[in-house]
Structure 1
Amino acid sequence: MTLNFPNPSRSFDSARSAVRFSGYDGMFEVPFLVESAALGTSTPDVRPSEAFETTCLSAFDTLRSSIYAAAVKAYSEGRRAPLILTSADIR
């Protein structure tokens, strides 16, 4: 089977300063995280704010096709879940 992304939902994980989303390989859910730095946002020195969360989610939406392509590549390389995408993955 191939990895696909039928569910466009994503959420912000403030503990990891990353955006969570899922892909699916057949009936199996594959969890992913995208670091905020990979989205072109810098992590605040203090607790992430609501504005920072909104910025990260908006950046994810803008970069969605690149993120999905990086996710497919990471998954095909056999990385273990949750797969964490960094700036090096998203170019």
Structure 2
Amino acid sequence: MALNFPNPSRNFDASRNGVRFVGHDGVFEVPFFIEADALMKPSGAAGGIETTQAECLAAFDRLRSAIHDVARKIHNTRRRSSYILNASDFR
């Protein structure tokens, strides 16, 4: 079954400086975490430790389609129970 994202919710994780979101592969939840640097580089923001929750969530919302595409690609090639997406995944 294909990975999809029926739930648009996402949460900022301040301790790890990034955003968590969940995909679904059939009945299975597939957790993802995307690092703040991966969110900020494509959007032109500075990124780094000064990245705020609002900046990360806004960047995630702007890039949601591309993030989901990368998440699907990675899930299809590397089956795992959870994934961490970083800037190199978007090159």
* The two structures share one fold, judged by TM-score above 0.5: yes
CA distance in 2, matches of 1:58, 1:2: 26
Structure 1: any 5+ residue segments left out of the alignment?
Answer: none
Q: CA RMSD in A?
A: 1.5
Correspondence for 2:89: 89
TM-score, normalised via structure 2 length: 0.87
Q: TM-score, normalised by structure 1?
A: 0.87
8 Å contact from structure 1 (residues 32, 81) kept in 2: no
1:34–1:86 Cα contact (<8 Å) kept: yes
| Matching residue of 2:47 | 42
CA distance in 1, matches of 2:26, 2:80: 17
Provide runs of 4+ in structure 1 moved above 3 Å. Answer: none
**Shift of the alpha carbon at 1:79?**
4.4
1-side partners of 2:88 and 2:65: how far apart? 16
Q: Report how many residues are paired.
A: 86
Q: Name structure 2 gaps, 5 residues minimum.
A: 41-45
Give, in angstroms, the shift of residue 80 of structure 1.
2.4
